[in-house]
Structure 1
Amino acid sequence: MFAKLEEVIKKHDELLSDLGSPEVLADPKKMMELNKSLNDMTPIVEKYKEYKRYQEDLEFIKENIRAEKDHDMREMMNEEMKELEEIIPNVEDELKILLLPKDPNDDRNVIIEIRGGAGGDEAALFASDLFRMYTRFAERHKWKVDVIERQEVGAGGTKEVVFSINGQGAYSRLKFESGVHRVQRVPETESSGRIHTSTATVAVLPEIDEVQQIHSINPSELKIDTYRAGGAGGQHVNMTDSAVRITHLPTGIVVQCQDERSQLKNREKAMKHLLSKLYEMELEAQRSAVESERRLQVGTGDRSEKIRTYNYPQGRITDHRIKYTVHQLDAFMDGDLEDMIDALTTFYQAEMLANSGE
C-alpha cells in the first residue's frame, strides 16, 4: 500500500509541475484533464500526509518516554501514545478505501427509469412516490432534474417515468438504487384497513454523452419515428409531431421522449437515453464475467432483485442487501436518503477491501 501511496505523491507533484508549463497553459482541454486528475489524487495525498504526521508524532513521543524521568510526565505521554496508536489504524483503513479502484462512472449524471410493478393502481402510486423521493433528493443537492418520458395513469399514478439528474457525483450516490422496491401500506381506497404489498422497479444508468464511448452506431441500425405527443403540455404539444421514438434494431431497445416542444430536443434526450441503455448492457456483460466467481452482495446490476421494503405501518425502510433499517420514513420519502446511501457505500467498500485481499 505504501509503495502505491508514494507513487501517487510523485505523480501528484509531477502534475502540479506540468500545470505551470507553457504548453498546458495554452491548452484549456489539457488543463482541465490535469486538474481533474489532481482533484482525484488530492484526498489521497492529504490523507497520506496526515498519516505520516501521526507516525512522526508517535515516534517522537516514544523517544521522549524513553528519556523522561518524571513519572507524571511519562503517564501523560503514555496516554498520548495510546490515542495515536488508536487513530493510526483508522487512518490506514481510510487510505485503503481511497486507494480502491474508482468507478469511472461515479462523476457522471444519471438517467433513472421507474416503472410500476405488481399491485395495479397502488404500484403506480408508489412509482410516483419514488419519483418524488429522488426529485427531492436531487433538490437537496441542488442538482437539475429533467424529465425524458412520463406515462401517468389514474389519479396521480405513474406507469413509467424516465428522467435525468444532472450533478457532480450523481451516479456515485444513486448507483445502488437499481432493483425492485417493495411497499407495504394501506391504500387510500382500502376501506377495511388491510395492508397491501406492491412493487416498483428502478434502474439507474450513467448518462453517456459521446457515441464513441460505446461504439459507433450505424444510422441504419436506428428506426426513428415521430408522432404527436399526448397528455399535458398545452395545445402545441398535441398539434405537431414533436414526440420521438427511437428503436435500436440490433438489440430491440426502444426509447422515446415527448417532454419537449422541439422535435430536435426530444430526439437529443431520447438518444442520450438509448446510449445509456446500450452502455449499461456492455457494463452488465462485463459484470457477469467478473462476478461469475464472486457475487458482491451490493451491486449496480440485477434489476429483478428485491432490494428494499418501505413499511408504512411501522414507519421503516429496510434494505435487504445489507440488512440496514431507517425509521424516519416520512423524511426518507421526502428525499433524505443520506444515511441509507452512506451505509450502502460503506458496505460496498468493505466488500471490495475484503475481495482485494483474497
Structure 2
Amino acid sequence: MSRLNELVSEFGLVERRLGDPAALADPREYARLTRRHRELLPLVTLVREQKQLQSDLEGARELLHDPDMRELAQAEAEGVQARLTEIESELELLLLPTDPDDAKDVILELRAGAGGAEAGLFVMDLLRLYERYAAGLNLKLSVLDAAESDLGGASKVVAEVSGDFAFRAFKWERGVHRVQRVPATESQGRIHTSTATVAVLPEAEPGEVTLDLSEVRIDVFRSQGAGGQGVNTTDSAVRAVYRAGTPDEIMVVCQDGRSQIKNREKALQVLTARLAERERANREAQERQDRAAQVGSGDRSEKVRTYNYPQNRVTDHRLEGDDKNHPLDSVMGGALAPVVSALARAQREAQLLAMAQDAPEDQQNGSRRKDQHGAA
C-alpha cells in the first residue's frame, strides 16, 4: 500500500509541475512530465474509483438495517464488493515492474531472411500489417528507408513509429517471423517456408548515449526506389556512417522526404537508437555471462511467430493454449492487439508467479537468520 500511496503522491506532483511555467518552457522536461502523467493516470483512476466504491459500500451496509431497503442494499453491496475485488487485482498488475521504454517512440527494422524473393515479399506483408496495426492505435508509422525489389518485396525496411506508448505496442514483434505459403512464383503449388527478422529499437532519450559527430560520415545522394518520385531531382537522401571501416561500423540511410536537413536529423536519430540498443545488448550479454544463463525472451534469433497461409492461422510460439493461435486474415488486416494482449498478460502472470515463489524463500531465509542468531 505504501508503494501505491507513493505513486498517487507522485501523480499529484506531476500534475502540479505540468502547470508550472518553468516546465512549460523546457520542452524536454514537459515531455517527460506528460509521459509520466499518462503512465500513472490508469492507476490513479482506479484508486479514485476504489475510494468512491468503499464509500458506497459503507452507505449500502448502513441501509441493510432498514427493512424496506435491505434487499436493494444487499444487491448494491454485493455488486460494489465484486468491483472492489476486480480493482484490487487490476492494481496488483499495475504495480508490477514496467518496462521503462514503454512510452518511447520506436525505430522498426524489417529484414528478409531465408527464402529469397519470397522473404522480401513477406517483409512488405509485415510492413502493411504494422501500418494497419499502428493506424488502429492512432500511432504514426513513417518509412525512413526501403531497399525494394522489382517483384514488390524488400530486403530491408526501416520505419519510425511515433505516438503514445509506441514501444509498448510493438516490443513483442522482436525476433524471427516465419511464413508458410505457396509463393506466387511456385508452379508446382508447393508450400515454402521463408523468414523475416524484426528489430524494435526504442528511440534513445537525450543523454542516454553520446554520439560523437566527428566519428560520423554524412553522405548525400538522390533518393531512389518507390516513394522517391518528386524527391529524386535533388540530393535529399542522407547516409550516416558511424566509425566507417571499423568493426563498430553502423550505416543508416534516410530518404523519407524532400528535405536534406530533416533526413539528416532522422538518420542521426536512428543511428543514436542503434547505438543505444548496442549498449543495451552488451549489458544484457554481460549479465547473462555473469549469471551463466541465457535469457531466451531477449534473443532476437528466437522464432517468435509463424504465419501459416494454407491453414489461415498465426501461431505465436511464446504463448500456450487458446492464446497461441489466431486467424491469419484478421491478424494481417491489422488486428494484432489480441496477440499483444495475450503476450502482455502472460508476462504479468509470470511476474506474479515469480513474486509468489520468491516470497516463501525470503521468509525461509529470514527464519534461518533468526535461528542462527538464536543459536549464537
Q: TM-score range by the shorter chain?
A: 0.7 to 0.9
Provide, for residues 235-278 of structure 1, a one-character-per-residue CA deviation record: whole Å limited to 9, x for no partner.
862x6544322222162222112333443332222111111111
In 1, Cα distance between equivalents of 2:294 and 2:59: 46
SS at match of 1:126: helix
Within 5 Å, give how 1:170-319 maps onto structure 2: 170-208=166-204, 210=206, 212-215=207-210, 217-232=211-226, 233-234=228-229, 237=232, 240-249=234-243, 251-288=248-285, 299=297, 301-319=298-316
How far off is 1:111 after superposition? 1.2
Choose the corresponding residue for 1:99, options 89, 95, 100: 95
In 2, Cα distance between equivalents of 1:354 and 1:122: 41
SS at match of 2:324: strand
In 2, Cα distance between equivalents of 1:16 and 1:259: 37
| 1:343 matched residue in structure 2 | 342
How far off is 1:189 after superposition? 2.0
Contact 2:241/2:252 (8 A) holds in 1:
yes
Moved more, 84-93 or 318-327: 84-93
Provide, for residues 15-36 of structure 1, a one-character-per-residue CA deviation record: whole Å limited to 9, x for no partner.
5556666x65885656665554
Q: Aligned AA for 1:247?
A: V
Name structure 2 gaps, 5 residues minimum. 359-376
Moved more, 280-289 or 302-311: 280-289
Contact 1:121/1:154 (8 A) holds in 2:
no
In 2, Cα distance between equivalents of 1:57 and 1:291: 51
SS at match of 1:202: strand
How far off is 1:296 after superposition? 6.4
In 2, Cα distance between equivalents of 1:353 and 1:295: 21
In 2, Cα distance between equivalents of 1:143 and 1:12: 25
In 2, Cα distance between equivalents of 1:149 and 1:17: 41
SS at match of 1:164: strand
Q: TM-score, normalised to structure 1's length? A: 0.83
How far off is 1:123 after superposition? 0.8
SS at match of 1:213: coil
- 1:164 and 2:160 correspond: yes
Structure scoring higher RCO (CA < 8 A, sep ≥ 6) equals 1
Moved more, 264-273 or 53-62: 53-62
How far off is 1:41 after superposition? 2.6
- 1:149 and 2:148 correspond: no
**Aligned-CA RMSD value:** 3.1
Q: Aligned AA for 1:174?
A: F
In 2, Cα distance between equivalents of 1:289 and 1:94: 35
Q: Aligned AA for 1:256?
A: V
Provide, for residues 129-177 of structure 1, a one-character-per-residue CA deviation record: whole Å limited to 9, x for no partner.
0011111222223332221111112311111111112222111101110
- 1:108 and 2:107 correspond: no
Contact 1:140/1:335 (8 A) holds in 2:
yes
| 2:363 matched residue in structure 1 | none
The number of equivalent residue pairs is 348
How far off is 1:329 after superposition? 1.4
In 1, Cα distance between equivalents of 2:163 and 2:139: 5
| 1:330 matched residue in structure 2 | 329
In 1, Cα distance between equivalents of 2:119 and 2:81: 53
Structure 1 residues 138 and 15 mapped into 2: Cα distance closer, same or farther (>3 Å)?
Answer: closer
Structure 1 residues 17 and 177 mapped into 2: Cα distance closer, same or farther (>3 Å)?
Answer: closer
Q: TM-score, normalised to structure 2's length? A: 0.80
Q: Percent identity?
A: 41
Provide, for residues 19-60 of structure 1, a one-character-per-residue CA deviation record: whole Å limited to 9, x for no partner.
666x65885656665554444333222212323444455566
Provide, for residues 164-194 of structure 1, a one-character-per-residue CA deviation record: whole Å limited to 9, x for no partner.
1222211110111010000111112222221
Name structure 1 gaps, 5 residues minimum. none
In 2, Cα distance between equivalents of 1:156 and 1:174: 24
Q: Aligned AA for 1:354?
A: L
How far off is 1:98 after superposition? 1.6
Contact 1:228/1:243 (8 A) holds in 2:
yes
